[in-house]
Chains A and B, each alone.
Chain A
Amino acid sequence: MRYLPLTTDDRRQMLHAVGAESIDDLFVDVPEAARLSGPIEGLPMHASEMAVERHMSALARRNLVAGEVPFFLGAGAYRHHVPASVDHLIQRGEYLTAYTPYQPEIAQGTLQMLFEFQTQVARLFGCDVANASMYDGSTACWEAISMAGRVTRRKRAVLSSGLHPHYVSVARTMAKFTGDTLDTAAPELNAMTDGERLLAAINGETSCVVVQYPDILGRIADLSAVAARAHEHGALLIAVVTEPVALGAIKSPGEMGADIVVGEGQSLGVGLQFGGPYVGLFACKDKYVRQMPGRLCGETVDAEGKRGFVLTLSTREQHIRREKATSNICTNSGLCALAFSIHVTLLGEAGLRTLASINHDGAVRAAERLGKVPGVRVVNDSFFNEFVVELPVEARPVVRTLADRGILAGVSLGRLYPGEESLANGLLVAVTETTTADDIDALAEALEEVLA
């Protein structure tokens, strides 16, 4: 077997050296009844690289590849161009096959990268500090709610109706077990976000207000008033960013008073990958750093006084604090954080701003074009690269019909909000730098035909 270097002769010598007659002697602690005498039945035996590749490629071919068709899906996962050097660099064995940097003298590569990543995330979000990443945006969002509970010692969170429904679901699952109360609502198909609802819901028992920015329907609203009201009542404002490219164009949540900003970093460097692995971003104000979940990398010096980096403030974490830890998270999303960081470094501030402009201008162009399709109404006033159109019919079957015609038209709100009839005609359309003018025309023309 190509991954196993021991030869038959090695095994014999080594068994002899450990005083065992056969390999079974080393499994003596396993009760007789639980020992399997041979390979598990019904499963295939080992296979060549070629055979495995053939099998996997056949499965891959049964999927409709986003890059091969006009493609408009978003809703928390966006298709952006990832520069070739990103994937090349993250495949270097020194990154790919390293462990968590617990031995800093021989992990400065990962550690310095994480320090740079933390700084990039903090600046993008307008916060003081960021951690070394979480699993993804949805789990980062719950961790933020949980952290706000620790900071305020309250257990009632107010969630904006514009928060991604999967993120709401995750929070709901967790809250069921932790005893937190979540004030939630479904969004309405109009241009206004639910700022008024949030302002009314905040009171002296509120631990935090959670607002997505831009929200699930792509709408952009100033967070300042909600921040002020939350702070008046001793609550924290958590902002959730599922499309970080937007922050190359619009103000950061930190600038508008958010205390914790979390997000999904998939857009930069990571790719679609059918939903994972992605990378959770987590940033906050300095004063809350000891309540943060996850790993943190910090600067220090070595015995010769040279600058170096280490994982720090580890006493917050499970391997030391055990049942009193701020979170049970251990593994994070290091390699995706690296991909994110390399992509942001390649872009730089100028590149990110240009990228954001291309996304936005493309989306404006698409909104104008789709708005001209008879019966179709663009719901948003404001948006970055994603907006909702209301169709004259239920959107979900339209999406399926267009998929058959080789167009991935967007995410129907029926998929995201099953059972919410008021949203059923909504179609969420995302446009990125990978979308061409021809793609937009193809979508508009196909819609015209299907709706005719």
Chain B
Amino acid sequence: MIGFISYLVNGISLGSVYAIIALGYTMVYGIAKMLNFAHGDVIMIGAFVVFSTVSGMGLPPVIGILISVVVCTVLGMLIERIAYKPLRHASKLAVLITAIGVSYFLQNVALLIYGANTKSFTSVVTMEPIRLADGALVISGETIVTVIACIIIMIGLSAFIKYSKSGRAMLAVSEDSGAAQLMGVNVNSTIALTFAIGSALAAIAGVLLCSSYPSLTPYTGSMPGIKAFVAAVFGGIGSIPGAFIGGILLGVIEILGRAYISSQLSDAIVFAVLIVVLLVKPTGILGKQIQEKV
């Protein structure tokens, strides 16, 4: 029994990391309606910035995270301006391929700057792990901080979208960008703002990802990025609480699958569950069902 609870805790710990990445994914998808494959690589850049400032220059972690948030926000807006904005009215696929190009670009820039060697990331969380049941059950400080950060961001984002003017503009753009424009919403600046917020979230996600799993390479972001994307779809892409639930569930399924079924097939299990969920509920757990009209 204690074994099961322990796996569950590990699953939540992994899931919280997926969830925090998925929040950024789902936010950008919901508003801009594009799969930003480069999101995972913005996360990697965010982590590298913290690594350089905290471990390299010896700045306090809080300052490092702030710098990283600023760098990623600017980077996100730049990417949007240069690569995505010219393609606003192009086919979805063209945008997808561009996003993949941006992803390759960021990976290779990081490779040129930092080299291929693995960097060990010093956790920014100083909280001691909680040990229960004579050390059989360990909840790490990183897990607690990540889950709390997820919940705060989730509530904050929901409130922002619901109550602030630019938040409601985002909602309007996501519902119908043409109509929103007619009502005087500046679609371009709204989408730019979405990317800014999404990338700022990516910076925080990068820090928490690498605090939990302290190895940093130019390719650190790509697989968690894909998994988080799956998590976002799982929960219903575009839905903010859905990303949180999807992330946590994905983490728990992955860990339990690995523990009780097969450690070699854990990815296959995760994807199989995703397929089953989507077949039963084609827009994810909390996704909105849109009726198709002629």
Binding partners A and B: no
Which residues does B use to contact A, with CB under 8 Å? none
Which residues does A use to contact B, with CB under 8 Å? none
